[in-house]
Structure 1
Amino acid sequence: MAIQKLFAVCFLQLVFAFLLAGLTNAGGLQLGFYQRACPDAELIVHQTLYRYVSRDRTLAAPLLRMHFHDCFIRGCDGSVLLSSTEKNQAEKDAIPNKTLRGFNVIDAVKSALEKNCPGVVSCSDVLALVARDAVLMIGGPHWDVPTGRRDGRVSIANEALFNLPSPFANITVLKQQFAATGLSVKDLAVLSGGHTIGIGHCTIISNRLYNFTGKGDTDPSLDPRYAAQLKKKCKPGNSNTVVEMDPGSFKTFDEDYYNIVAKRRGLFRSDAALLDDAETRDYVKFQSRTQGSTFAQDFAESMVKMGYIGVLTGEQGEIRKRCAVVN
């Protein structure tokens, strides 16, 4: 009996080891991918990024958003970083990406890596690591980032224009877009929580405030008192003013986003849309009621999951020397 028990225990441990290995290497990615070729890769990323975020905490939001926008178009392949050419308009110049910033930060991180380990670390992995560390630096959760992504060579502006989740989208469209990338309805509710940091431009919410149905009205899903506050900041035709996504703590990664959405004060139509579906609404109310009891862990898990979308590995793609141009 003792031998049988020992065999059973060993068998379970072996099964667990195989399962863990499968999770670690899923999609060709693995933890510590650069351990031999560039053992200080993640430290270099962190230290270089810290020099920027420590001086300007508002960089965390666009750097997180950049990773999100990259993964939703052609997968997490660094295509959002490519510059347009005479023959091709790249994702970077699509309307939804016009407000992205922090490309100089990515370039600085890549440059530091190239000095230490030339031609080893991909730009797509830089994006994934920078997004994680930027969130961590402003109070958000840590998550392990499996690496080994390769960089794509194609970047098309129209793909970003038509396929990125829009701040104007309703819940049906949002669910379809997330499902198309392999993300769940829960992932939609969780990753929307990234709006706990950052800003939005008045032009994006102008219709919600002044002409929601084309009759000079305000979006009825928006709390009237909050709408009145927004109208004081965002006058009709205002194209320069910005509004905090999470008023009062837009530089700190926390669970306040769900309190705001639950009160019908989500800035974008896509934020308000979370209340139009039973599953996403329940998640919003749960996080609001429990003060984000599971949000940090949920966000970490969804970010890891998002980081696997359409990755190029092995001999696919390339390792760009400079993130803005193909080799």
Structure 2
Amino acid sequence: IMLVGLHGCGKTTTAAKLARYFQERKRRPYLVPADVYRPAAIDQLQKLGEELRVDFYRPEASQTPLEICLKGKEAALKGGYDLMLIDTAGRLHIDEALMLELREIKNHLKPKEVLLVADAMTGQDAINIAKNFNERLGVDGVILTKMDGDARGGAALSIKAVTQRPIKFIGVGEKLDALEAFYPDRMASRILGMGDVLTLIEKAEVAFDAQQAKALERKIRKDSFTLEDFRDQIQQVRKMGSLESILGMIPGFSKMAKASGGFDFDGKELVKVEAIINSMTPKERANTAIINGSRRLRIAKGSGTTVQEVNHLLKQYAQARKMMKRFAQMGEKGFRRGGMPFFS
């Protein structure tokens, strides 16, 4: 896959996001940096690759972009990788030098897909850029970045109409997991405030481990669900993306948020909860009844929080235990509806 686009559209980060996306789907991606003009572009991609544990081709200083791509392809084939992601150079504006370089790489490598990365926030400019790249280079699809807001769905519709090329993915945040396959009907549902249940299900299937879910079910049935189990659940939820984006996929949530003046879902709250649980001893996580006043003060100091916040978490946990007891008593039909045991 060859990624093209202008400076500042998010190509390098998108290359890493794609690597993570395909890695989760049992592919073996290989990153190749062909941007020799932007300072630190190669180092940036290498750092992102190391963070994901995705292998990376390190070019020599004297190599041209085409040589980097050809050598990168050799290394990818030799290493048995099944997907090569090429991060090409951008420009501040479309010029013939850029197009000549990209056409040369495309003609020699013959990539299965050339994907244009465009910034949805630029509005009409994104549409003009897509039209230009498609006419002068030929692209197979588009990835729209900075699509966090529903109101930007119009850019996707316009680009599709102008280029007659599909929108393949959308970037919905800065984190490396903030990339989604694009579905027009789902985008329409989000714009209309109807949520996006299918994407939510797909994210859950990737984030949640089936064996862990079964082990959790057994613990709930035996009334042995601990704060350590809860911490593991938080970590899995965080893999799905920001809490706000997850809740935004629930039908009716967007309208409810607007009607109430908006909800503030700070991902730092989940980090804070994890910190509180991590500041407890294994015995305290297994049996919260032993957490007295002095222990609560120690936990608050250790986690950088307040005693009130520790008390709030313990209260939520106690309420959740009661709720899970009721689930267990309902039997198979009641329990197997799935979902998080507690978030309020």
**Bucket of the pairwise TM-score, normalised by the shorter protein:** under 0.3
- Please give the TM-score of this superposition, normalised by the length of structure 1: 0.25
More RCO (CA 8 Å, sep 6+): 1
- Please give the TM-score of this superposition, normalised by the length of structure 2: 0.24
Give the structure with the larger strand fraction: 2
